């Protein structure tokens, strides 16, 4: 009977050891999952509003206005005004407004044949208040 009890106790110890190892693996796996979840929350929690608007984004958005500023025929098409209002709404911070200004300067220099008067009037015609007048000589660093 002592051998049976010893054998039973040994098998229970082996079983407990096996369960403990599985628990450690599960706990380790759970820690990894919780850590990953925390990292995802941190990444998703970073406010996207802090990202400065880029020229490629601005250029793509404003492509709806290219035909109008090349060959102005009032009024500008609605998709163009929608694009102007969209870019204006996205430019929430000083850095964003300065970035958009720099992008507009780049467009004026990079696309020959644009009607600069039509381009300068575009925000007002579309009902957007950008806070500065568009011109080739504008100083984007002074935009608030």
Split into its structural domains, the chain has a count of: 2
Judge if 124 and 62 occupy the same domain: yes
Q: What's the predicted TM-score (pTM) here?
A: 0.62
Task: Say yes or no: 132 and 66 in one domain.
Answer: yes
Do 85 and 28 lie in a common domain?
no
One domain for residues 40 and 99: no
Q: Is the domain of 60 the same as that of 84? A: yes
Structure tokens at 143: 């935009």
| pLDDT reading at 111 higher than 90 | no
Residue written as tokens 């925390």?
A: 38
Question: Is residue 4 domain-resident?
Answer: no
CATH of the domain at 73: 1.10.110.10
Q: For the stretch 13-26, what's the b/e string if a residue is b when 16 or more beta carbons lie within 10 angstroms of its beta carbon?
A: eeeeeeeeeeeeee
61 and 29 both lie in a single domain: no
pLDDT digits (tens, 9 = 90+) for 21-70: 655 665 555 444 434 333 443 334 444 445 688 999 888 888 999 999 99
Q: Rounded distance, CA 95 to CA 144, Å?
A: 8
**DSSP reduced 3-state for 94:** helix
Other C-beta atoms lying within 10 Å of the C-beta of residue 69 = 23
Q: Which residues contact 102 (CB under 8 A, 6 or more apart)?
A: 55, 140
Range(s) of the domain holding residue 133: 54-142
Angle, helices 116-126 vs 94-110, to 10°: value is 140
Whether residue 134 sits in one domain with residue 84: yes
Using CA atoms, how far apart are residues 66 and 135, in angstroms rounded to an integer?
16
Q: Does 133 have pLDDT greater than 80?
A: yes
For residue 3, being part of any structural domain is answered with no
Q: Hey, how many other C-beta atoms are within 10 angstroms of the C-beta on 61?
A: 18
């Amino acid at each position: 009977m002592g051998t049976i009890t010893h054998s039973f106790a040994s098998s229970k110890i082996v079983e407990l050891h096996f369960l403990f190892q599985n628990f450690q693996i599960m706990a380790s796996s759970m820690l990894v999952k919780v850590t990953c979840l925390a990292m995802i929350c941190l990444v998703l929690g970073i406010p996207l509003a802090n990202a400065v608007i880029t020229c490629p984004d601005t250029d793509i958005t404003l492509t709806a206005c290219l035909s109008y500023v090349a060959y102005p025929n009032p009024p500008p098409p609605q998709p163009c005004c929608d694009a102007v209002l969209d870019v204006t709404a996205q430019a929430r911070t000083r850095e964003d407004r300065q970035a958009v200004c720099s992008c507009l300067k780049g467009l004026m220099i990079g696309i020959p044949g644009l009607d600069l008067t039509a381009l300068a009037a575009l925000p007002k015609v579309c009902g957007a208040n950008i806070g500065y007048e568009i011109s080739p000589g504008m100083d984007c660093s002074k935009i608030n």
